[in-house]
Amino acid sequence: MAKGRPTKKASEAKKLKETLTPQQVEAIKGTDKLLLSLCLTFKDCEDLSYSQIVAVDNERERLHYLFKEIIHND
């Protein structure tokens, strides 16, 4: 078994972030923020509001558009 500290490697997420456009990064952050909001709503056993449903649709559309080269389900 090797002893000592493991060698430092750049994280995969950091490498990926360097290849993304600012719009793609914002889409990922927006989706994460929205999902957190929805999870908290579910956790508190509250009903979804219409604005949350619209936000989900808008964020999904933005993410889909910005990653259309990767998402092949059109």
pLDDT of residue 28: 87
Task: Please name which of 31, 4, 24, 32 lies closest in space to residue 65, comparing C-alpha atoms.
Answer: 24
Element (H, E) at 27: helix 22-43
The torsion angles phi and psi of 47, rounded to 5 degrees, stand at -80, 150
| Secondary structure letter of residue 70 according to DSSP | T
Six-digit token string for 38: 């929805």
How confident is the model at residue 8, as a pLDDT? 62
The angle subtended at Cα 28 by Cα 10 and Cα 32, nearest 5°, is 105
Distance in angstroms between the alpha carbons of the first and the last residue of the chain: 49
Which mean pLDDT values do the consecutive 10-residue runs of the chain (74 residues) have? Answer: 63 79 88 87 83 87 82 59
**pLDDT for position 7:** 62
pTM of the full predicted structure? 0.59
pLDDT of residue 6: 63
